[in-house]
Amino acid sequence: MHRFFVNRDSFVNDHVKITGDDAEQMRKVLRIKEGEEVVVLDGLGWEYRVLLKEVKRGYATGEVKFKDFKVEDSKIKIILGQGIPKGDKMDFIIQKATELGVHEIVPLKLERCVVKIESFPTQSIGTRTKRWQRIAKESAEQSLRRFIPLINDIYDLKEFCGKYKDGDLKIVLYEGEKKRGLKDLLGRPPLYPLLRKEGKRVVIAIIVGPEGGLSGEEVEVANSYGFVSAGLGQRILRTDTVALTILSIVQFLYGDLGGVRE
């Protein structure tokens, strides 16, 4: 069944109105007709099964037949600080990170970013952020999530580290790390007791560098805020591969990857 996110104010009593690109996709691309059912989500945890009454140019309306609430779609809260890569790699990272249950993605302006953010006009930065948020929305619909990850504004490293310094687990992935691998760091995880606490949602903050990786100075900055540096082993991975690898590992160990679908 097709899924669509709408704003909460799109609901009036037991009826909902879907507008904009979603309505046009419904009518022109998916060819959904009146009398069919779709799933509508408000991004706040509510999922509605909706019987469509009208499918017109620019809008569709429907009646809520069933609703269900879930407080969260992962028992861990992952914040990914991603050094901005060149080209459309960020689009790919956002899409796949959303599928893997990330809570928030923060684009990072780092020393070795090929893309020079400071040369962008303000309007261009806003356009990119909106595009990334739209990609997250579409990926959340496709992957049966009830929540859309937040695509934050572009931060520098100190801003990111300062905001998430109180996370329960903080990792900075660094290919120059020879003393500690990720397997060693996560092999004796301190988080399991926290996960067992009723009502506790564990916060995990992760920093991934751009194509050129992180500089030694940047790793020292992250370490000063309590981020633990760890390597991924013998092979050097591309930045988009690094993000997917760490998210998969963390979700498998602490989250819901590999579990039974509820």
Share of the chain above pLDDT 70, in %: 89
Is pLDDT at 160 greater than 90 in this prediction? Answer: yes
Distance CA 236, CA 234 (A): 7
Do 37 and 126 fall into the same domain?
no
Q: Find the CATH number of the domain harbouring 211.
A: 3.40.1280.10
Do 35 and 161 fall into the same domain?
no
- The answer for residues whose C-beta is within 8 angstroms of residue 34's C-beta and 6 or more apart is 52, 53, 54, 55
Local confidence band at 75 (pLDDT 50, 70, 90 cut-offs)? confident
Is pLDDT at 41 greater than 60 in this prediction? Answer: yes
Say if 22 falls within a structural domain. yes
Residue range(s) defining the domain that contains residue 242: 76-254
DSSP codes of every residue in the chain:
--EEE--GGGEETTEEEEEHHHHHIIIIIS---TT-EEEEE-SSSEEEEEEEEEEETTEEEEEEEEEEE-S-S-SEEEEEEEEPPSTTHHHHHHHHHHHTT-SEEEEEE-TT-SS-GGGS-HHHHHHHHHHHHHHHHHHHHHTT-SSPPEEPPPEEHHHHHHHTTT-SEEEEE-TT--S-BHHHHHHS-S-HHHHTSTT--EEEEEEE--TT---HHHHHHHHHTTPEEEB--SSPPPHHHHHHHHHHHHHHHHSSTTS---
Distance CA 137, CA 234 (A): 35
Average pLDDT across the chain, whole number: 87
Structure tokens at 43: 């991004």
Do 65 and 90 fall into the same domain?
no
Say if 45 falls within a structural domain. yes
Q: Find the CATH number of the domain harbouring 30.
A: 2.40.240.20
> Shortest CA distance to 170 belongs to which of 179, 178, 161?
161
Q: What is the pLDDT of residues 78-103, one digit of tens each?
A: 999 999 998 889 999 999 999 999 99
Find residue 50's DSSP bridge partners.
38, 64
Structure tokens at 80: 């990914």
Is pLDDT at 68 greater than 70 in this prediction? Answer: yes
User: For the chain, how many structural domains are there in total?
Assistant: 2
Distance CA 252, CA 172 (A): 19
Backbone angles phi, psi at 72, to 5 degrees: -160, 160
Do 211 and 131 fall into the same domain?
yes
Q: Which of 47, 69, 91 is the last residue of a domain?
A: 69
